[in-house]
Amino acid sequence: MSTTTLPSAMEAARQRLDAWVREVIEWHFDPATGCPFWLNWAANAGWDPRKEVHAYADLDKFGGFQDEWLRGGPVRQWVPKGYAGKPVYIFETGGSTGVPKARINIDDFRIDYENFSKTLPDDAFPMGADWISIGPSGPRRLRLAVEHLCQHRGGICFGVDLDPRWVIKLLKRNAFEEVELYKRHVIDQALTLMKAHDNIKCLFTTPKLLEALCERVSVKKLGITGVFCGGTEMTPQFHRFAVEELLDGIYFAPTYGNTLMGLATHKPPTVDDNWAIIYFPPAPRAMIEVVDPDEPTRLVGYGETGRVRLTTLTKEFFMPRFLERDEAEREAPCDQYPWDGVRNVRPFSKFATNVVEGVY
Amino acid sequence: MTHLPILRHGVAYRSVDVVTVVHHRTRQPFVQISQANTGLIRRDLLRQDEARAELAAIPARDLIAMAAHAAELFMTATLPLDPVDGVTQSPQDYVEQLSSTTGLPHVLVRRNMRKIHGVLSQMGDVIAGLTRGLDISVLDTGVGESDGHLFSFYPRGHSLGVVLPNNSPGVHSLWAPAIGMKTPLVLKPGSSEPWTPYRIAYALMQAGVPKSAFCLYPADHAGGGEVLRSSSRGMFFGDASAARRFKGDSRVEVHGPGYSKVVIGNDRIDHWQDYIEVIATSVADNGGRSCVNASGLWVTGHAEAIAHALAKRLSQVVPRAADDEQALLAPFADAGVPGRVSAMIDADLAVAGATDVTAQYRGAERVKTTPDGTYLLPTVILCDSPDHPLANREFMFPFVSVVPVDEDALPELMGPSLVVSLISDNGDLRDRFVRSPHVDRLNLGPIPTNQIGWDQPHEGNLFDHLYGRRAIQRVA
């Protein structure tokens, strides 16, 4: 049994974060290792982050990271010189609004998902078991990331693709019948694979596709022992519905992740949580905080609602103080994750009506 | 706080996701309503064939008798409201709760109760009207005989999904007969008037209708869409823009604005004073909140004099307390709405050719706030032609445009109208209205537009919506 108290664990986490911030800043703003974007930025900013950023809080000096910086090229401006010559992936975000945001990747997705792998229970996601991933592939990180997670755990990953941008177009023109046909097409392919390959025991899919799959079969009877679910917003009611009605006791791991951050881990639910979905970021590689929408440098109080603010801190990608299109309640640190988390992430209410969320 | 649970085949279910509705006047939280997620709706409705089979096993005559019993329970019994906490609802509770979240005066709630009582207690007559007098047992056997001719009907599906409105409890009388026609109900209650569908459902269940025939899913717009997509037949109530989403889907009967009208022909126009009460009733009864309330008065002469007489008459309709027996106007549950509606009207009045003639009788202010809420006062607009932007509009309060029109242009010029009360003895004009595809319900003579005969279907025929007719032959 650990004798560490939560306050001391929080302090240790904070020191680790500050040290990591210094290391990441040194990397990104060193002309030998940094990327053209940040080196140019620093040249125009009139201050040297390597001299003035000593701790996580000092990242406020960057102001807000602008959404538009990630839309359009040149994409090579984001490749750190320290990684010159390495194979580079480009991953895009949803694309439901205009030109998609893009982020370069080298090994981050592998590191994120290997870290996440440590949170998965082996009885539900057995080492050596095969997986099936039913969801977006194409320009998204998700397919490669889930496949890597599976391989990292000794499995082979089957895949069925879904194009969320097409689904959004269908929904925008009220073509619900086509949406249903497309969903059925996706689920048909998945069922064919799941019935043909007995070693598929782990499933990744999105909330809507999980519902659609469970309308057709009992995934437990098909041999699935663990479900990893993400890709879009999940409500507490969906969480309860999935656990109580869709999964017959199968382990359910909801996640909140995106191309810009990495992957947040869901705190195992307690009765007191009332099915709230509580995520903690993969600190110190990324931080998710909840801020006052009108004063984004001010964190709201624990339990209060605000806009989600993301800071990504890896040597591949530095993104300070980015305001997400989501809102949530600020969650207090806990023993397992002694840093801030978020509760019940959902579309930011001021933007919600402009974004169509679909099957994906 | 009172909580309204989801009903899943009659079984109460509390969602983690709740919406709190406030009291329209105090703005204090009044009721929490469980919200259904779309996956839950879809999953439940996979079992609708079982629900339909259970309901269909009961003879139609027995279902009609149950509906008659339910009519009495609806009016007089203390019924469940939240079975999870054992909360019940007396008839007076119902009146006060409905008034609290919608602003509808108690007297109007009671009047609507009687309307619902009427359709439940006379469900046999209603269905006879819808089927043009077929023997009700045809619903049990699917086959019947009339004048030596065989006929056969088949159910078009396993359920009727309905996205319900908030405007007036009386609209719930439109879907209730589905139970007598052996069709389970899947309802998405209105956000501020969920009370009536729950009370009707509980009354029918207590009267013996199987619980599995009732799914009530309070939900957001996505949930409403799922109710319609997952039900084999549907009804949708909503404003003009929302209603457009379901146009062209033959499974869904769309109930948008009514644009109901009173029309006075040349032969009766000189006697217009005789009809002012009928017109005033058509416009202002039920607070002007129904699609069967008249929003247009199309006249072949004396437009200005009629507009002024009507404005003077309607200026007597003023805000009163919710429990005042004389109350006719309802405040808006959202106090911001009257100002926005009034601004819309003013914007169109800026187009030359229309006047708010009520202003000189009730004062210039169309919006009035009292301790009981914020109201829109009755408004009579005099238009100089049917082309004016305000000539054919509908709002959820006593609003009517008086429109001068050449009789020869009727009824084509009017566009679609849910109800038309035609005041004319001119046979040629009557014939033109009878032949018109634009009129859903035609009243011949000075009958208020909101006077409903239950044996006369309007806004589509529920029987035709739920049942198809097939050709049939058999060996003698």
- Residue by residue, what is the 3-state secondary structure of chain A? CCCCCHHHHHHHHHHHHHHHHHHHHHHHCCCCCCCHHHHHHHHHHCCCHHHHCCCHHHHHHHCCCCHHHHECCCHHHHCCHHHCCCCCEEEECCCCCCCCEEEEECCHHHHHHHHHHCCCCCCCCCCCCEEEEEECCCCCHHHHHHHHHHHHCCCCEEEEECCHHHHHHHHHCCCHHHHHHHHHHHHHHHHHHHHHCCCEEEEEECHHHHHHHHHHCCCCCCCCCEEEECCCCCCHHHHHHHHHHHCCCCEEEECEEECCCEEEEECCCCHHHCCCCEEECCCCCEEEEEEECCEEEEECCCCCEEEEEEEEECCCCEEEEEEEEEEEEEECCCCCCCCCEEEEEEECCCCHHHCCCCCC
Q: What is the pLDDT of residues B335-383, one digit of tens each?
A: 888 999 999 999 999 999 999 999 999 988 999 999 889 999 999 999 9
**Candidates B17, B47, B48, B250, partner chain A, best to mutate (most A CBs within 10 A):** B17
For residue A283, pLDDT beyond 80: yes
Report the relative pairing of strands B467-470 and B149-155 from DSSP bridges.
Answer: antiparallel
pLDDT at A98: 77
Shortest CA distance from B246: residue in chain A = A174
Compute the mean pLDDT over every residue in chain B, rounded to the nearest whole number.
93
* pLDDT, average across residues A314-332: 95
pLDDT at A45 over 60: yes
User: What does the domain layout of chain B look like in residue ranges?
Assistant: 2-256+459-470, 260-444
pLDDT at A359 over 60: no
Cβ within 8 Å, pair B16-A215: no
Query: Is the pLDDT reported for residue B225 higher than 60?
Result: yes
Contacting residues for B308 by C-beta, under 8 A, at least 6 apart: B357
Q: What local confidence, expressed as pLDDT, does residue B455 receive? A: 63
Tokens of B102: 């919608």
- A207, B39: Cβ pair inside 8 Å? yes
Chain B: residue whose CA lies nearest to A215: B43
Q: In which residue are the tokens 């440098």 written? A: A297
How confident is the prediction for chain A on average, in pLDDT? Answer: 91
**Of A167, A168, A178, A211, which to mutate for an interface test with B (greatest number of B Cβ within 10 Å)?**
A211
**How many angstroms separate the CA atoms of B476 and B473, rounded?**
9
Q: Measure A242 CA to nearest chain B CA, in Å.
A: 9
Contact at CB, B39 and A208, closer than 8 angstroms: yes
A218 touches chain B (CB under 8 A): no
Report chain A residues whose CB lies below 8 A from the CB of B39.
Answer: 207-208, 211, 238, 241, 246
B17 interfacial to chain A (CB closer than 8 Å): yes
Residues of A in contact with B37 (CB under 8 A): 235, 237-238, 241
Closest approach of B174 to chain A, Cα-based (Å): 26
Interface check for B225 against chain A (CB to CB < 8 A): the answer is yes
Mean pLDDT confidence for B453-476: 81
User: Residue ranges of the domains in chain A?
Assistant: 1-78+93-99+286-360, 107-254
Report the residue from A207, A214, A274 with minimal CB separation from B16. A274
B47 shares contact with chain A (CB less than 8 Å): no
Class of domain A107-254 as given by CATH: alpha beta
A241–B39 CB contact, under 8 Å: yes
* Contact (CB<8Å) A236/B17: yes
Q: Does B247 score more than 70 pLDDT?
A: yes
pLDDT at A2: 53
**What's the pLDDT at A351?**
60
pLDDT of A72 above 60: yes
Q: What is the mean pLDDT of residues B110-131?
A: 93
pLDDT at B291: 86
Tens digits of residue pLDDT in A243-253: 999 999 999 99
The alpha-carbon gap from A207 to the nearest alpha carbon of chain B, in Å, equals 9
pLDDT at B325 over 60: yes
Residue A306: other Cβ atoms inside 10 A: 23
C-alpha–C-alpha distance, residues B438 and B420, integer Å: 10
A22 Cα distance to chain centroid: 24
Check residue A95 and give its pLDDT. Answer: 66
A110 dihedral zone (left: phi>0; alpha: psi -120 to 50; beta):
alpha
Q: Give the pLDDT confidence score for residue B244 in this predicted structure.
A: 72
How many Å lie between the alpha carbon of B41 and the closest alpha carbon of chain A?
Answer: 11
pLDDT at B474 over 90: no
Chain A contact probe: residue of B16, B32, B46, B250 with most A CBs at under 10 A: B16
Say yes or no for a CB contact (<8 Å) between B40 and A180: no
- ipTM, 2 dp: 0.86
Nearest chain A residue to B14 by CA distance is: A237
How far separated are the first and last CA of chain A, in Å rounded? 42
Which among B17, B46, B229 has the least Cβ separation from residue A235? Answer: B17
CATH entry, B2-256+459-470, from 3.30.70.260, 3.40.50.720, 3.10.450.50, 3.40.605.10: 3.40.605.10
Cβ-based neighbours of B475, under 8 Å, separated by 6 or more: none
| Alpha-carbon torsion (B153, B157, B158, B161), positive or negative | negative
Residue B240 has pLDDT above 80, yes or no: no
Q: How distant, in Å, are the alpha carbons of A187, A359, B248, B327, B401 from that of A181?
A: 10, 12, 19, 52, 47
Checking if the pLDDT of A87 tops 90, the result is: yes
* Residues in B touching A275 (Cβ below 8 Å): 16
CATH classification for the domain delimited by B260-444, as one of 3.60.20.10, 1.10.340.30, 3.40.309.10, 3.40.50.1110: 3.40.309.10
CB contact A211 to B (< 8 Å): yes
Q: Which of A215, A238, A274 sits opposite B42 (nearest CB)?
A: A215
For the cut 80, the answer to whether the pLDDT of residue B271 exceeds it is yes
pLDDT at B435 over 90: yes
- Pairing between strand A305-313 and A318-331? antiparallel
